[in-house]
Structure 1
């Protein structure tokens, strides 16, 4: 028996132009209205997979590790660690998580691994009983970042993960034995090298957590990319390949950054344009 539950993490407000790359504001503001500072609302959603008496968490969001100054700079809205509240609402704590799968190590996807900021206290790693999974090439990128995304990584977190003795680095050509044969891993380099996109087998069709390859419903449209993507043209090709694979299988996507849509089924019209159907704002114990 396997069940899926989407979990809300800390939310952000980020510049809409940066989030929609070369798409004009006249287009993207139809999907996500901007405030007076040109910022749009973004979520940091995680996915809880419960199976075989184990709890698997896909991503942890941005969390609350930032100091007040950096919290304001990056538009983090809440002071508390919202993901921990969401876990508690599901009857769990961070100590109950057996595996954490990280699509990549940017702070808005992995920062939730850290406890909330406290003055004069060093960063502290949560999830004391979890094994941590991420891509080997993404780990290498994080440890030796390019100037373009150096500020997106948390050096202290990398040290804590490595020193935990519970970090598992996965290569593209291998099956992740820790997750098991019912899990499939897709890979993407367009946003950041070695981004790992887990696919969970479900009776009603597979569910994929596409990370920043497709961060929300508007980005299902093939030409839409983010200004943060390192290789937008390659990302579009990766996105098209993933959607083409999922559509005939009734595949669904869980969005990490969409504030309103948690999950949707991949749809395609007679002109080959991709969209979503059967969208939901949240999922609780989806088993089918």
Structure 2
């Protein structure tokens, strides 16, 4: 499976599902003739998007970032609407690394939209259950509150079936939390009110996972945000701040959704100077 090394930390991408989201939704007000040069659509105007969690070990603990689509959690109508052509192989990929689901110590949730959170909960014999039952599940306080009390817009993605079985495992933070001496989660808002990013610093090497405020590397223009973003101006401001801090500074940018690249490094002028392509989803 694909992997990248950040100092002492080796990050593996797990197969969490394969979707095809509407191109207009993924690029919002950006005209198609502009975005399709950077990210081609299929005949239905859909863009291929993976939903691939990241796994890593650090200081004897096992970590996941987000959880994929899970299995058997979507109706046939939902699969059709979201262009789902593959559900999750996360547990199978973890087994290849020698990790059982009960051995996951931390799950770091950038946000709790359905395509990130479904894999935390399984369904069997008519009942829901926590898949990673021994893990601390971290998300921002704002995100957790909205998950339980969605508004008229967000109720389409925050489903009670996705939080009821994991609520005892939830840990929240306000603006920032140091998970350990190498990993920090930081609230940004934008894509959702509680959206967060994840910073890595290990042995002088650096990475950032911007999750869905930078969902594909075609969204590098700070003005290119998805129609799914609840607060697009917040996304734009966050991208401006993060890009100023990271471009040309040898950061790896990690991706959950991009169906072409796992990670890239971006030069000060905004050009991609190093990339890790998706080579193995088997």
Compute the TM-score of the two structures, normalised by the length of structure 1: 0.88
Structure 1, unaligned runs of 5 or more = none
Contact kept, 8 Å, 2:49 with 2:258, in 1: the verdict is: yes
Cα RMSD (Å): 2.0
Once residues 53 and 17 of structure 1 are traced to their aligned partners in structure 2, the CA distance between those partners, rounded to angstroms, is 43
Unaligned runs of 5+ in 2: 1-7
Query: 1:249 & 1:30 partners in 2: Cα distance?
Result: 27
Q: Which digits, 9 at most, give the CA deviation of each residue in 1:209-255, with x for residues without a partner?
A: 11111011101222211011112222111101011112253211111
Q: Which residue of 1 aligns with 2:216?
A: 216
Work out the CA distance in 1 between the residues paired with 2:249 and 2:53: 23
What SS does the corresponding residue of 2:33 show, helix, strand or coil? helix
Residue 130 of structure 2: aligned partner: 125
Contact 1:264 1:276 in 2 (8 A): yes
Q: Which one of the candidate residues 53, 56, 63 is aligned to 1:49?
A: 56
How many residue pairs get matched?
A: 272
Q: Which of 53, 57, 60 is residue 67 of structure 2 equivalent to?
A: 60
Provide the residue aligned with 1:281 in structure 2.
277
Cross-structure match for 1:199: 199
Residue 40 of structure 1 pairs with residue 47 of structure 2: yes
1:53-106 deviation digits (Å, cap 9, x = unpaired): 111111112222112332222222125x22222222323232221100000100
Q: Is 1:17–1:227's contact at 8 Å kept on the other side of the alignment? A: yes
CA deviations 1:102-129 (Å, max 9, x no partner) are 00100111111122x66x7233220122
1:78 counterpart (56, 65, 86): 86
Q: Corresponding residue for 1:158? A: 163
Give the aligned partner of residue 231 of structure 1: 231
Aligned partner of residue 119 in structure 2, secondary structure: helix
Is residue 9–residue 86 contact of structure 1 (8 Å, CA) maintained in 2? no
Q: Give the conservation status (yes or no) of the 8 Å contact 1:104–1:196.
A: yes
Match for 2:147 among 142, 145, 169? 142
